[in-house]
Amino acid sequence: MPTGVALRDAREQLFDAAERVLLRDGPNALTSRAVTTEAGCAKGVLHRHFADFDAFLAELVRDRIRRIDHQSAALRESAGTGTVVQSLTDALTTVFGSVALAIIGLITSRDELRARLRQTDTPRQTGTPRQTGAVGVPVLTEATAMIATYLAAERDAGRVAADADVDTLALTLIGSGHLLFAGREGTPPEADAVRRVVGSVIVGAAVDDAR
């Protein structure tokens, strides 16, 4: 196997390789050797770009969080269009894609990784930077903020009740979505199942013509 491959974009290729290992073999199989073997490069390539393997994993998770930031901006801008139920159904389906679920499993299985991520203090489009000592599970925390921000925008647009507790609704949606998508071994739930859960959670909050 080649060991001196010149990677066009080493970081991205290493991230992609790590995600493939996670999806195929689970978080316990994710080692620096497994990642570089999957990427087809020498082990030293990873350590030229990252201080250690935990630093690599932390940046892998932050890359996933940046994707949520982009999704959050698009979701917020969509407020006032379509239906609230469908927008939330689509958002949860994207958030809990197979790679994201694998990343969440990785975070919950590694104490050191969680500790590193909680030290991050980077402003995000969700409007909720993660401060040093922040609680919650990274990725899930950002996803919850994304949903809350969207619901607040819909509340401002008059499509969600003025007295709706968007933070609690967001927590409920993310918790329900995680349970709905997790443990299905790569087979996501039917869209109608996700839609029913979303509709049940926001039934008392979304105005009739926005459902």
> What is the reported pLDDT for 211?
61
> What is the reported pLDDT for 124?
45
> What is the reported pLDDT for 74?
94
Residue range(s) defining the domain that contains residue 134:
65-210
Residue at 98 is within a domain = yes
Residue at 184 is within a domain = yes
Q: Are residues 70 and 39 in the same domain?
A: no
> What is the reported pLDDT for 8?
53
Residue at 91 is within a domain = yes
> What is the reported pLDDT for 7?
46
> What is the reported pLDDT for 120?
58
Task: Domain count for the chain, please give it.
Answer: 2
> What is the reported pLDDT for 163?
94
∠ Cα 51 52 56 (to 5°): 90
> What is the reported pLDDT for 43?
83
Mapped to the 3 state alphabet, what secondary structure does the chain carry?
CCCCCCCCCHHHHHHHHHHHHHHHHCHHHCCHHHHHHHHCCCHHHHHHHCCCHHHHHHHHHHHHHHHHHHHHHHHHHCCCCCCHHHHHHHHHHHHCCHHHHHHHHHHHHCHHHHHHHCCCCCCCCCCCCCCCCCCCCCCHHHHHHHHHHHHHHHHHCCCECCCCCHHHHHHHHHHHHHHHHCCCCCCCCCHHHHHHHHHHHHCCCECHHHC
Q: 27: domain CATH number?
A: 1.10.10.60
Residue at 56 is within a domain = no
Q: Are residues 129 and 202 in the same domain?
A: yes
- Residues in the chain where the model's pLDDT stays below 50: 1-7, 121-134
